[in-house]
Structure 1
Amino acid sequence: MYLTRFRLNTARLGARRLLSSPQMLHAGVLSSFADLPPAGEGTPRVLWRIDRNSKAETYLYIVGPDKPDLTHLVEQAGWPETGRWQTYDYAPFLSRLAAGDRWAFRLTANPVHTARRTDDEPTKITAHVGLRHQLGWLLKRQDSAGFKVLEKPAERQLIPGQDRYELIVHDRRQLAFKKSGQRQPVTLVTVTYDGRLEITDPDALRRTLSLGLGKAKAYGCGLMTLAEA
């Protein structure tokens, strides 16, 4: 597994076009690999995420089973003369994860649930739009994903009982774009989670970091990364 970081030049039209279309960016990411692994349950896949740290700093992160070649993205949306990307061997880091370790994390996800208005209607996948439900979406998945979000000491909770976790939700976006061959646009609600976690099951967390969490992985969701807390 490899982790890659690439800075986009948001002053360029090509970068702005890519950032406005998750489908175009997905295609650009996949074309970075000469040979894609066959899709299958439990098979490492290509995950990607956009981090908007500021107007001047927008990064593309990619995790995949092989090293990517981002030359085309540098030419289209970077700095052709000086632009580079950094790729790191992810396997040594993943192998060192241990139960009890604490890390800061970031995850962009598509928090959804199934719902229906009446008993006669089929269930429909619906986005969580409220902050409480978006937080709950991640907390419900933490055990199976191999971690637990750390809780704040009582004296640091702004609203006791409601502000329990070292976790914030930000950069909430509603995306709408058309897929080729479809008349109706695809709509997605995405949010970014920043927080602190403790590893409870290293193998499960390695799967989460390699396979992603939640739906809409083709459109920039599901990639979780860790950093020193």
Structure 2
Amino acid sequence: MKEMDQGIQYMKEGKLEEAAKYFTGAIEQNPNDPIHYINFGNLLLHMKDYGRAQKFYQKATQLDEEAATAFYGLGNVYFEQDEFNDARVNFQKALTLGLDEADVYFMLGLSCLYDEKFKHALPYLQRATELNGEDADVWFQYGLALAQTEQLTNAKEVFIKVLELETNHSDAHYNLGVISLFNENIQEALAHFTRALEIQPEHILAANGKNQIEKMLADNE
């Protein structure tokens, strides 16, 4: 096993000190190879040491201006610090350089979504569902973007898809409840809010929705 591969294996096993030692050795032996800086950046990102991770990714981009995974790493560094505009720039750079993977589209879409650029988020999240159609969270975030752009019929279909992939997805039930309430389907909304609370009893939004419906029904008796 190569030294770099051993370091990655240590990371997977949670042996972070051992991984750092191996990556340090790899950089000392091959100081002009960007992959070693990227791997060390990934380790530091995992450890939430964002400042140092950023420096290692930037060093990789200095050594190789087309190191797509380094720009993806930088995007994650900025995303984790809620710097969504910088995150988008770097994720987009990774895509431009050929990192055509579901995770890149997903993180680019999330960066737009969290920065309330909902329409911009849609094509990236849609592409992520095409590349990773079995991930419930990818579908859920796509559903949120649809809902935020008032495409409620499409959003409903996507949230139903989420439940097909993950039956006990409380937030999918909550959002289906909101859509049902918007469509004045009170009993369906109540059923979704109730199910969300069965799955996650501390779901405050579902509890509020359920209480409001029950109060409204009681007032109409």
TM-score, normalization by structure 2 = 0.23
* Bigger relative contact order, structure 1 or 2 (CA pairs below 8 A, ≥6 apart): 1
From the two aligned structures, give the one with the greater helix fraction.
Answer: 2
From the two aligned structures, give the one with the greater strand fraction.
Answer: 1
